[in-house]
Copies of this chain bind each other. A is one copy, B any other.
Amino acid sequence: MNDVCIIGVGMTRFGKHLDKSLKELGKEAALNAIEDVNIDHSQIEAAFVGNAMAGILSGQECIRGQVILNDVGLSDVNVINTENACASGSSAFHLAWTAVASGVYDVVLVLAAEKMVYQDKNKAFKALESGTDVEQLKNFPGYCENSKGKSIFMDYYADEANKHMNQYGTSIETLAKIAEKNSYNGSFNPYAQYQEAHSLESILQSRMISDPLRLLMCSPVSDGAAAAVLCNKKVASKFSTKPIYVASSVGVSEVGSTNDKSTVERAAIKSYEKAGLGPDDLDVLEVHDATVIGELLAYEQLGLCQKGQGGELIESGKTKLDGDLPVNPSGGLISRGHPVGATGVAQIVEIVWQLRGAAGKRQVSTDPKVGLTENVGGFINNDNAAAFIHLLKK
């Protein structure tokens, strides 16, 4: 298996871009990544494109990647279109990594893009339902016929938050500290949808979305795109003096397994084993804080702390920007935003910037050599339908 490097990264600012189409967002991110490595467009042999919901939101199904990339200046490429709900981006990255690792291609583009913001705000919430088994939707916790004003996933996360609070005595103030940290981090990120640091008090007083989760504890509806150029290590020196290596790329899905470990836990175990690394080797992480409880559970599922001790970890300050193990220096899904199919690649872009020491005011102080991204998508059988973990190293 060939070693694989990330040689170029780029993204759009995430946000509510009513004036921009999926094509425009995707093109901007792709060109940013290609320009980052200063490669000739003709050297890109394939493109792996992640998008979750354009079929439902815009009617553009089937050949999304070809349509988005149609005037980016690529020529003789194979375009692969993939989706895995909120993990569509890391699904695309995983396929790109696999293709370069196999030797089928030496240089490939990964593009992850999502357009969710339309005049009708409920359109995106409705489309998010397709991240579940739509025939079983009525059995989904908190489902109502005309979902208004929120995604049904917020009810799932609220349920998880209540369980953690009841079982381990985690307080809502502790959970809110994750939002406080991430909004602080996001205030330094020019690519973030929200660049305002919120006080604990304002987070705890924001509008209730699904008890106990309040607005500022949840990721927003967003537009955006992120991209990366990957290559075989053997040719990396031709293109870049600062390649970042993919130490492992692992995906685990839920299909009615009797396994008692969650998809994230199983993906974490495999990731560490494949990379020959463990939680103690990590210097920086981007995790899937679709809501605050998502980040707290990630702490435990990734082995950063014992089960039930996620609250103590956030209270310790260790995961803050200036802590020993910074988590979501970008601001995470809560502040950077969450254009669902784009998130997985945006996480990887952030870790690359951090490992390069190029993250500006939000650069972590751990002199990072190893970073991890955790990205999940969809729900089925009361677990994430897909979980992808990437370990990157200098």
Contact = CB atoms under 8 A, between A and B. Distances in A.
Interface stretch (A205-213, A287-295, A363-371, A373-381): A373-381
A107 to B, nearest CB: 15
- Among A76, A127, A129, the one with the most B-chain Cβ atoms within 10 Å of its Cβ is A76
B257 A58 contact: no
B101 A84 contact: no
A276 interface: no
B75 A62 contact: no
Interface stretch (A66-74, A115-123, A190-198): A66-74
Contacts of A378: 62-63, 66
A36 interface: no
Nearest to A78: B251
Interface string A76-98: 11111111110010010011001
Given A62-B130, A70-B133, A75-B257, A82 B85 contact: no
A76 B380 contact: no
A55 B56 contact: yes
Given A74-B255, A91-B81, A253-B77, A385 B1 contact: no
Nearest to A83: B81
Contacts of A99: 98, 102
A74 B380 CA distance: 14
Contacts of A251: 46, 78-80
A102 B385 contact: no
A244 interface: no
A84 B62 CA distance: 5
A87 to B, nearest CB: 9
A65 B82 CA distance: 11
- Among A53, A65, A253, A254, the one with the most B-chain Cβ atoms within 10 Å of its Cβ is A253
B84 A91 contact: no
A279 interface: no
A382 interface: no
Contacts of A254: 66
29 contacts: A21-B135, A52-B62, A56-B56, A59-B134, A60-B130, A62-B85, A62-B130, A63-B85, A63-B378, A63-B385, A64-B83, A66-B378, A66-B386, A67-B134, A69-B255, A70-B256, A71-B256, A74-B255, A76-B252, A78-B251, A78-B252, A79-B385, A80-B94, A80-B251, A81-B84, A82-B82, A101-B102, A102-B102, A102-B103
Given A63-B130, A67-B133, A77-B252, 14 more contacts: A23-B135, A46-B251, A47-B255, A56-B59, A59-B134, A64-B83, A66-B380, A69-B255, A76-B266, A77-B253, A78-B253, A79-B251, A80-B84, A98-B104
Interface of A: 1, 21, 23, 46-47, 52-53, 55-56, 58-67, 69-85, 88, 91, 94-95, 98-99, 101-104, 127, 129-135, 250-259, 266, 377-378, 380-381, 385-386
Closest 10 CB pairs of A and B: A55-B55, A102-B102, A79-B253, A61-B130, A78-B251, A62-B85, A63-B378, A63-B385, A62-B131, A66-B385
